[in-house]
Every structure is written in structure tokens, then in C-alpha cells.
Chain A
Amino acid sequence: MDIFIQQLINGLVLGSIYALVALGYTMVYGILELINFAHGEVTMIGAMVALAVIGAIAGSALDLPGLLVVLAGVLVAIPACMLLGFTIEKVAYRPLRRAPRLAPLITAIGVSIVLQNSAMLIWGRQYVSFPPLIPQNSHEILGAHITDLQIFIILLSTLIMAGLWLLVQQSTLGRAMRATAQSKEVAALMGVNVDRVISATFLIGSALAAIAGVMVSAYYGLAHYYMGFMLGLKAFSAAVLGGIGNIAGAMLGGLLLGVIEALGAGYIGDLTGGFLGSHYQDVFAFFVLILVLVFRPSGLLGERVASRA
């Protein structure tokens, strides 16, 4: 039983990170109907930039408290990722807005290759480790352990998601985003500056990705130029699971996928009599993705039925 609760906690932590990244996919898809393949790499860049700043401060003579150093890293990573997301949209996607559907998808793959390899050239092929700045206090709940960092990740991502929900539902920008998602042409007729809304979407999504990137690297204690690929795919699966284009769906899908993955990895050995082990963890996201797309392409919360043209 305590294994179950432990895996549930691990799953929720991982799931809230997936949810943050999934929001970026779902917002862009909702508006542009484009799978922003490069979003995972934006997350990776966020982690790498933050780690570079953290490493520089921790290595210098300044003797700041650990949490402040991490905060400084996050505060640099967010604008860096926002600038990156903004530029990607402007350079790679905007010229192709009226092109056939596969064209921007192929560009997105190209951008993601460019980002990944640039990161490899800048930061090298080896893993970058997260300096031990965050205290690792552990609490016991129902026989399972939860660290301060895990609690913090869950709380912060809940807060951010609540804030985003308010932004989308209450603010003028949010209303403009929803209108653009329904129909770009009509929204433009109503005086919405569609280009600006799309840019804003990329800015918000990239900021969330930066935070998620720092969370992942702090949680695992590592960052790597290749980390964005798997993370991005899983977050995309989460967005599809929840219903792509749907913001609440991305949050739900992220949490669910995290839990499925953690429980699956915890129990797959027992279920298959030891034939398959926990290193098959990465397979779950894809199975979930394929199952959802086959049986319920609109996702759990998706109202718009994905067209089957």
C-alpha cells in the first residue's frame, strides 16, 4: 500500500510538470492547429539557461542563500525562453500560416533539431548536474515520503495553472485568445489583433516551459541537451489525453499521465511476472497516446471532435 501512495505522489509531481508543458502545446494548437514540435526544446533551453546562471552564481565568490540563487536562475530563464518562443513563431511559423498543413510541422521539426544541436554545441554532450542548493527535507505521509521540493513543485504549478485559467477566462487578452481559437477571421473582424494574440500565446507558453524546465532539472538533479525531446512528447501526449486545445484538459491530462506512468513503472514488473521491468516507463505515454487517439480522439475534456478528414 505504501508503494502505491509513494508512486501516486511521484506521479503527481511529475504530472504537474507535464501539465505545465502540455499547456504550451494545447494553447498553440488551439489557436494555430499546429503541433509546436519545438516546445519540448524550449523547456530544455529553459533548464539549461537556468543551470548556467545558477552554476555561475554558485561558482562565484557571492555567498547567497541557495534558494535565492535558484530564483535568479529561473528569473533569467523565463525571459530567455519567452524571447526564444517569440522568435520561433515569427521566423519559422508565421511565414507558413497559409501553407499546407504538413509544411509548418516539418519546420517545427527543423527548429527542434536546430535548438537541440545548438544546445549540444553550447553546453556539451554530458549531463549538467543541478548543484545541491535546495534543502531535501522529507516528510512522511501514510508511510510514503514527500520532500519539500515535491510539495513546492505541486503547489507552484497549481498556482500557475490557476493564474493561467483566470487570465484566459477573465482578462481581455484571454478573451481575445479564445476568440482567435474559434475563428481567426471573425476575431480579426471584431478588432482583435490576431498576430499579437498569437505572439502572446507563444510568450506565455514559453514562460511556462521555462519554469517546467527548471522544475524537471531540480527534481532529477540533472539537465541534458536531449531532455526536451521525451519531455515534449509526453507533454504532448498529456495534452491529447486531456483534449487538445482545451486548457483544463491539459492540466488534467498532465496529472493523469504522470500518475499512470508512475504506477505503471511501479507495477509492471509484478503484472508481467518480471518479464518487463520499470525501464519500460517511457512506453506508457505512447500507449496512452495511441489508445486515446484511437478510441477518443477528442480527448477526455475535448468538446471539439477532432475531424477525421
Chain B
Amino acid sequence: MLDLLRRPRTRSQARAALILLAVLLALLPFLTEAALGRSWVRVLDFALLYVILALGLNIVVGYAGLLDLGYVAFYALGAYLYAWLASPHFGLHLPFWAVLPLGAALAGVFGVLLGAPTLRLRGDYLAIVTLGFGEIIRIFMNNLNAPVNITNGPQGINLIDPVHVAGLSFGKTQQVLGLTLSSAHFYYYLFLAFTLATIFIAYRLQDSRIGRAWVAIREDEVAAAAMGIDTRNVKLLAFAMGALFGGLAGGLFAAFQGFISPESFNLWESILILCMIVLGGMGHIPGVILGALLLTVLPEALRYLGDWQRLVLGEVLVEPTDLRMLLFGAALVLMMIYRPEGLIPSRQRKREFHAEDGVLEQEQASLYDTRT
């Protein structure tokens, strides 16, 4: 079916495939609940959230070729802003449609603030500086509870308002049109709407003048500048756009979870999102979506590993959750060595990575950076 979507033979075939996909997406939470139980509907929600995050980071890393290891800081900013403006913490209860854009905007502003001084740095330096920025934000979130209690420290902020739409609170299970919908179902449709919007924006960006400028900078910054691209501003824009989606996802996360603490925003979260992009195929939207879905669903499936161990060995030797990060790390290494272009790469990138002759190999070496 995916193949049909990509290369439809006729117009009506394309329309049929699209309708099929839409029906499938609409029924998915019910099918999942019936087959695997309600906890898996929550997993679906998280998978969608990560698709938004991964697509946001993909703008920075995949399109513009800027390795950002502190992406989670923007996610955290969006989540904390939501918590400040819609929870008993400060006694404010603004509606979500007012808070979400604010969170995204705040993250975007911070993206520019971080990007402005650092974007002239070389790729690997940038990675470390962004990593440091992520840690700084986390340390502040952890400690800004005294003398003025802003973030409530390591305990985090609790009782965050759920999303309300048309008198419906997404926080509890309700009857709608004869269907019993749990909180996880409501958020699935909300997240699905945001995810589809993000995918649409990501495609439009990719084909836009700005998107082509990003790719040009990634491939060869000097040549891009020679073609009249204002590299500094265009890179800043990539940073800000990426941060925007991070902030948006953060707000959604806070509303969905109802509770946030600095622990949700550590470095490994940044790296997890990076893994999704690398695994799926940097810079290629279907690849990134696949990567995000795989890396959210697989760790959940890993939980069954504990049951198998109990069945086969009689006891749980290795906690599956402990194994999760280990496998991610190994996957990163193996992917980089054997399939650096990702599971579903764009056609152009695949050629670059498997170039045989010398000229292309040289091009490949300057994929992200020109060496002097």
C-alpha cells in the first residue's frame, strides 16, 4: 500500500490508497486496544509525539546538516511553559490553543538565541555546544525551585490541565456518539492531527526555496554562499523551525502526561530522537517517520523479553528496560558502519553513500563540512 501511495498508477488508485490509509489511521486506536490492550494506545500516542519531534529535529540535522544534541531543551521549554500557564502551580489555567503557540514561539526564540552565537562553528563543535545547552537547561529546571519556586525542582510540576475542546475534557473517559473513548483515544486524534500537519509542513518546507537552501548548505556551504544564500540567516531559520516543533511537542506532552519533571528531558532523550532520524534515513521524511515509530514501539515490545526470560530461564536475568539503551547504542554503531544512509534513505543520499568512483567519494567527504 505504501508503494501505491508513492507510485500510484492511476489517479483513482491513488485516491483509493489514501482513503484506505485514512480509515486505517482512524480505526487504529480501536484495533490496537482490541488486539493488545489499552496501554498500547498510549504507546501509539507517544509514537505520534515522537514523529513530530523527529521531523522537527530532521529539519536541523537532516536538511541543514547541523548536528543538534540539545534538541530536548526545546521540548522541555514547550512543556514547562505549558505547565506554568495551565496548572495550579502558578494558579493559571489558560486554554491549550493559547498556550501551545506560545510554547512553540518560546522554543523558537531560544533556538535563535542558541543559534546566533554558535552557528559559525564547525559541525562537531556545534554538537558539543548544543549538548551543553541542553544540560544547562536541565540543570536550571532542576534547581530553580529556590529561593523563588519557578520549576518546582526535581519533583516537577503536577496536575497540569488536560486539553479541553468544545466542552470535552481529554483527561477522562467519556461517551461520544455511542463510543467509549478514553483519554488515550482523545489524545491519539489530537496528536494525529498535529502529526499530519507537521508532515505536511515538513514536505512543503523541503520543496520550498528555504528547504533547497538548507540542502545546499548541507552539501557545500561555500558553494551555497557563492550562490547568494545568506548562510547565517538560513541556518538560524533551520534552528528556529526545528525548535518550534520541539516546543509544540513539549506542550502536547505536558497536557497528555499531566506531569513533567526535569528527568523527562535528559540528554538520552535528545539522542533517542537523533537515533530515530539516523535509523530511518536522515533528511527523508518517510524514513524519519518509520524511525520514530520503530524506536517507540520496539522498546515497548522489548518488555515482553522479561516474560520470555521468566518462561525460559525461570527468572529475569536482565531487566528489559536496562537492555533498551544498550541495544540503541549498538544499533547506532552498526547503522553507521553498515548502512549509514538509514533504512529508507532518499534516492540521492543512497547514491552518495554508495558512490564508487573517486569524485563522488570526495563529495561524500564534504557532505557536512568542507575540510581545510
- Chain A residues at the B interface, C-beta cutoff of 8 Å: 33-35, 91-92, 95-96, 98-107, 109-114, 116-118, 120-121, 229, 233, 236-237, 240, 274-277, 279-280, 282-283, 285-287, 289-290, 293-294, 297, 306-309
Chain A minimum-CB-distance residue to B338: A95
- Whether the Cβ atoms of B125 and A117 lie closer than 8 Å is no
Known: A117-B329, A277-B143, A279-B143. A104 touches B336 (CB 8 A): yes
Chain A minimum-CB-distance residue to B367: A100
Q: How far is the CB of B80 from chain A (nearest CB, A)?
A: 17
- Whether the Cβ atoms of A308 and B336 lie closer than 8 Å is no
Q: Which of A35, A110, A277, A306 is in CB contact (< 8 Å) with B331? A: A110
Name B243-281 residues within 8 Å CB distance of A. Answer: 267-268, 271, 274, 278
Q: Which of B267, B326, B371 is in CB contact (< 8 Å) with A114? A: B326
The B contact surface, by secondary structure, is helix
A22 to B121, CA, bound (A): 20
6 contacts between A and B (CB under 8 A): A101-B123, A109-B271, A118-B326, A282-B139, A293-B118, A297-B125
Contacts of A95 in B (CB 8 A): 337
Type the 1/0 row for B147-189, where 1 means its CB is closer than 8 Å to any CB of A.
1100000000000000000000000000000000000000000
Contacts of B94 in A (CB 8 A): none
Chain B minimum-CB-distance residue to A94: B337
Contacts of A240 in B (CB 8 A): 125, 128
Contacts of B132 in A (CB 8 A): 233, 237, 285-286, 289-290
- Whether the Cβ atoms of B131 and A110 lie closer than 8 Å is no
Known: A277-B143, A293-B129. A110 touches B369 (CB 8 A): no
Chain B minimum-CB-distance residue to A88: B333
- Whether the Cβ atoms of A105 and B143 lie closer than 8 Å is no
Counting contact residues on chain B (CB < 8 A from A), the size range is 35 or more
Contacts of A102 in B (CB 8 A): 65, 67, 123-124, 368
A279 to B141, CA, bound (A): 12
Name B127-141 residues within 8 Å CB distance of A. Answer: 127-129, 131-133, 135-136, 139-140
Interface residue? B370 (CB, 8 A) = yes
A92 to B329, CA, bound (A): 12
Contacts of A109 in B (CB 8 A): 69, 271, 274, 329, 332
Q: How far is the CB of A295 from chain B (nearest CB, A)?
A: 9
- Whether the Cβ atoms of A35 and B127 lie closer than 8 Å is yes
A306 to B125, CA, bound (A): 10
Q: Which of A110, A237, A309 is in CB contact (< 8 Å) with B372? A: A309
- Whether the Cβ atoms of A106 and B332 lie closer than 8 Å is yes
- Whether the Cβ atoms of A110 and B333 lie closer than 8 Å is yes
Q: Which of B65, B140, B332, B365 is in CB contact (< 8 Å) with A110? A: B332
Type the 1/0 row for B62-87, where 1 means its CB is closer than 8 Å to any CB of A.
00010101000000000000000000
Contacts of A120 in B (CB 8 A): 322
Contacts of B45 in A (CB 8 A): none
Interface residue? B354 (CB, 8 A) = no
Known: A233-B131, A293-B129, A308-B122. A113 touches B372 (CB 8 A): no
Q: How far is the CB of B288 from chain A (nearest CB, A)?
A: 15
Interface residue? B361 (CB, 8 A) = yes
- Whether the Cβ atoms of A121 and B318 lie closer than 8 Å is yes
A120 to B329, CA, bound (A): 14
Contacts of A233 in B (CB 8 A): 128, 131-132, 135
Known: A306-B122, A309-B222. A282 touches B67 (CB 8 A): no
A34 to B125, CA, bound (A): 10
Known: A106-B332, A112-B329, A275-B147. A100 touches B365 (CB 8 A): yes
- Whether the Cβ atoms of A114 and B330 lie closer than 8 Å is yes
Known: A107-B336, A289-B132. A101 touches B326 (CB 8 A): no
- Whether the Cβ atoms of B127 and A290 lie closer than 8 Å is no
- Interchain residue pairs A-B with the least CB separation, the first 10: A113-B329, A110-B332, A286-B132, A114-B329, A117-B326, A110-B333, A100-B367, A307-B372, A309-B370, A107-B336
- Whether the Cβ atoms of A99 and B340 lie closer than 8 Å is yes
Chain A minimum-CB-distance residue to B61: A102
Q: Which of A105, A285, A289 is in CB contact (< 8 Å) with B67? A: A105
- Whether the Cβ atoms of B125 and A309 lie closer than 8 Å is no
Chain A minimum-CB-distance residue to B372: A307
Q: Which of B147, B329, B368 is in CB contact (< 8 Å) with A100? A: B368
Q: How far is the CB of B121 from chain A (nearest CB, A)?
A: 6
Q: How far is the CB of A279 from chain B (nearest CB, A)?
A: 5
Interface residue? B20 (CB, 8 A) = no
